Structure 1
Amino acid sequence: MSNGTQGRVHPCGIQTAWTESMNVSEAVAAVAHGFALKPIGFILVFFSPAYDAVDLSNSLAVAFPGVAVAGCSTSGGISPAGAIDRGLVVIAFPQKGFRIFSEVITLIDRIDMDDVAASVRSLCNCLDQHQTKAESCQRFALSLIDAFANAEEKVVSAVAWALNGIPLVGGSAGDDLTFRGTVMLHGDQIHTNAAVLVLVETDFPVRIFKTDNFEPMTRRFVVTAANEDERRVYELNAEPAAVEYATAVGLDPVHLTPMSFAAYPLAVKIGGEFHCRSISRLDEDGSLVFFCAISEGAVLALTKPRDIVEAMQAELSRLNETLGGLDLVIGFNCVLRRLDAESRQVQPSIVNLYRKFNVVGFETYGEQYLSMHLNQTFTGIAIGRGKKLDLVRASDELDSSAERT
């Protein structure tokens, strides 16, 4: 591959490529030229918000005529070569061994649950009509969601319910922490205020997963004033939100940055388990804007980090053993996890894990797992090397997750 583009072919037939080239047409052409295996059945594209999305869509249509495409803007790409600050990551699924259908859900800020359920069921029906005779094939769903619609919780809840047991995993689109807006790509169309759902059936062993590296401390905050539609908190414990948070972490409010929020996320307890509610930014009025839904009366715990490398190593090693070797991991990593890893100078060790376990994906403004929208988490789908299929996920894990939600 040229133009600084790198890639590889995986035993399952999926091809991956990544580039930091900012010339859209050259980057796409180089990626397409490097894909040796044909025919390609479906393409996932994770791209820099600095790209002109229309130019990208047009270039993809030229390079991959007749191939279905889905993707979104990011706050950085993920590849075995490491985190990509610009450019794009492309995942090409072969026609053999994978059956894939996708749909775009529009106007998600005023989502109609019945319409979403109908769209999901239509996708499932398409897959049913193309299902192979193999009894051991497995299904999973990928979600890509516009973070600025503030609708992930509603979208994930509606989609997960309609999927009727098919496991869901995904990420919210990003825009390099500029907070101006994200872009969704589906077919030859560009969307905002939208979500893309990709439904996959495969002959290969797969498992969805999530991992994080925080644990709650004793310090608690009660949200005493908030704008729930904007995910904005004005007061914690009846004090100005930024002041109360900064005091707890030992900082001056004027010195709060994304690095601060990455180092000390907040968490809410749901069904006996803590889930992150990360802060995205501090506004001039002293309010804190969150990546996840937040409501007045919510009790938040201040957390402290565990070893991020150790936690991720343990989860990927477990998946590697369970699936008889990892062929590919499509991952969705909260951008705050990368900032935290960089501040602790352990990002090179994270990159080594990407390389060792063939991780590709993007850095997000939120992560989806089953029926939950999460923060400061790494979620993903692990694809095994063998053709002897294991279960999609451990039944105990799914059962307990279903009970919590």
Structure 2
Amino acid sequence: MAQGSGVRRHLCGIWTAWTDAAEAAEAAAEIARAVGASALSQIVAFFSADYDAEILARALETRFPGVPVAGCSMSGGIVPAGGLDRGLVVIAFPAERFRIVSTVLDAIDHLDVERTASAVRALRRTLDPLDRCREGDAAATGHRFALSLIDGLANAEETVVSAIAWALDGIPIVGGSAGDDLRFRDAVMLHGGQIHRKAAVLVLVETDFSVEIFKSDNFEPTRTKFVVTASDGERRTVHELNAEPAAREYAMAIGLDPENLSPMSFAAYPLAVKVGGEYFCRSIRRMNEDGSLSFFCAVDEGVVLTLAEPRDIVASTRAELARLDAVLGGVDLIIGFECVLRRLDAESRQVRHGIADLYRRYNVVGFETFGEQYRAMHLNQTFTGIAIGKTLAAGAPGAVIAPVAS
């Protein structure tokens, strides 16, 4: 586990800094001292729900004058030194070779899809100034990706990420749902010095470096199937599976008494839905007093859910990170979004140290989520993100870059 504070400057020029300082203002000051007076284009921050978000927003604005800040509350941080149970994690993008714009989407629990798509298209166009395109600036053809940060308690991720992906028209999107540990009371978003709830933040990045988005999970479908026979899609609550009380039917399938169901049970035995020939996890958030199950994703009546069984989480993660390393000719940094249930599952199997070792090796920074986004999909129990390579993409000015000291 990461302890205290740390800072790292990566080859691409991005700074990652983290602290477990107890107070928001102290945390912002510590990060600012670590990063120094670098020329920055954007700060992305993930922070503990224990912090006073208003104080943190003001402190970051004061400490980094003129630099846009976006972020959200988390259920744990991921930093190059390991996991961070509480504190502040910052990704500071340099002004050189990174062009970044962002926006906030409010009232996502009553989302106007057309208006949202229009706002995202407008944001996208800001990276296409006509004068740059006419001049043939390499920036106009840089590699692009989008980071989505969505309130994980608004029950709106499916609609939001679908609308964003539609409007981005092929620009890959990855992201995570903001949480508050496992309290399920209040997730907050940060943008433009203001705190937002029931909102999403979209950060659109264009860079001269090679990038690759990814997703990884460690579960395989079994032959055990459940048909959702009664549910409330808006509240993400399933009342019946196979025409039986949902919690009892699920508990019987995994060999437990319903009274013994816990977050650890849900982490170890997720349910999955098949979409386009591929299985995606639909993780359970909690069991309710009436015997229903609340999920991290919407689950509609008539959907067939498949009980999944675990594979070696360390081996599957290692394989995906090695693939990214090969594709990019070396990974410099990974911005990652990992379901909090993956952490619980790793802890229960006593392999969290193995995951932490991999994240250190590949410089993973990010946060533990209430759900993950990958392209137009909202997922659970998954590790998604964007890997940034050590070398410039083909066509970018400057054939070779010099290493930057950590």
> Same-fold call, TM > 0.5?
yes
Deviation per residue, 1:225-282 (Å, 9 max, x gap): 1111100011111111110101110111111111000000000111111110000111
The corresponding residue for 1:190 is 195
CA distance in 1, matches of 2:152, 2:28: 25
CA distance in 2, matches of 1:4, 1:390: 41
The corresponding residue for 2:99 is 99
How far has the Cα of 1:24 moved from its partner? 1.3
Matches within 5 A, 1:138-287: 138-287=143-292
Contact 2:120/2:167 (8 A) holds in 1: yes
How far has the Cα of 1:388 moved from its partner? 3.5
CA distance in 2, matches of 1:142, 1:28: 22
The corresponding residue for 1:133 is 137
CA distance in 1, matches of 2:27, 2:275: 44
Bigger shift: residues 89-98 or 281-290? 281-290
CA distance in 2, matches of 1:23, 1:158: 36
Secondary structure in 1 matching 2:153? helix
The corresponding residue for 1:68 is 68
Deviation per residue, 1:64-83 (Å, 9 max, x gap): 01110000001100012222
The corresponding residue for 2:404 is none
The corresponding residue for 2:400 is none
Q: Confirm or deny that 1:380 pairs with 2:385.
A: yes
How far has the Cα of 1:390 moved from its partner? 9.5
The corresponding residue for 2:401 is none
The corresponding residue for 1:396 is none
The corresponding residue for 1:402 is none
The corresponding residue for 1:403 is none
Letter in 2 for 1:239: E
How far has the Cα of 1:5 moved from its partner? 1.6
Matches within 5 A, 1:76-95: 76-95=76-95
Letter in 1 for 2:102: S
Secondary structure in 1 matching 2:291? coil
Deviation per residue, 1:272-310 (Å, 9 max, x gap): 111100001111111100001100111100000111000
Letter in 1 for 2:250: Y
The corresponding residue for 1:118 is 118
Bigger shift: residues 325-334 or 35-44? 35-44
Deviation per residue, 1:125-147 (Å, 9 max, x gap): 11112677116511111100011
Contact 2:296/2:371 (8 A) holds in 1: yes
Pick aligned residue for 1:343 from 345, 348, 353: 348
Secondary structure in 1 matching 2:124? helix
| Long gaps (5+) in structure 1 | 392-405
How far has the Cα of 1:37 moved from its partner? 5.9
Secondary structure in 1 matching 2:334? strand
Contact 1:206/1:390 (8 A) holds in 2: no
CA distance in 2, matches of 1:26, 1:154: 37
How far has the Cα of 1:25 moved from its partner? 1.3
Q: Confirm or deny that 1:23 pairs with 2:23.
A: yes
Contact 2:24/2:53 (8 A) holds in 1: no
Contact 1:366/1:376 (8 A) holds in 2: yes
CA distance in 2, matches of 1:238, 1:340: 29
Contact 1:259/1:339 (8 A) holds in 2: yes
Deviation per residue, 1:329-364 (Å, 9 max, x gap): 000000000000000000000000110000000000
Secondary structure in 1 matching 2:127? helix
CA distance in 2, matches of 1:156, 1:64: 29
Secondary structure in 2 matching 1:149? coil
Letter in 1 for 2:7: G
Structure 2 CA distance for partners of 1:249 and 1:348, relative to 1, 3 Å: same
Letter in 2 for 1:108: I
Q: For the aligned residues, what is the CA RMSD?
A: 1.4
Normalised by the size of structure 2, how large is the TM-score?
A: 0.94
CA distance in 1, matches of 2:353, 2:44: 26
Identity in percent = 63
Structure 2 CA distance for partners of 1:289 and 1:390, relative to 1, 3 Å: farther
Letter in 2 for 1:92: A
CA distance in 2, matches of 1:382, 1:152: 23
Letter in 2 for 1:133: D
Contact 1:5/1:27 (8 A) holds in 2: no
Letter in 2 for 1:105: L
Deviation per residue, 1:198-218 (Å, 9 max, x gap): 000000000110010000000
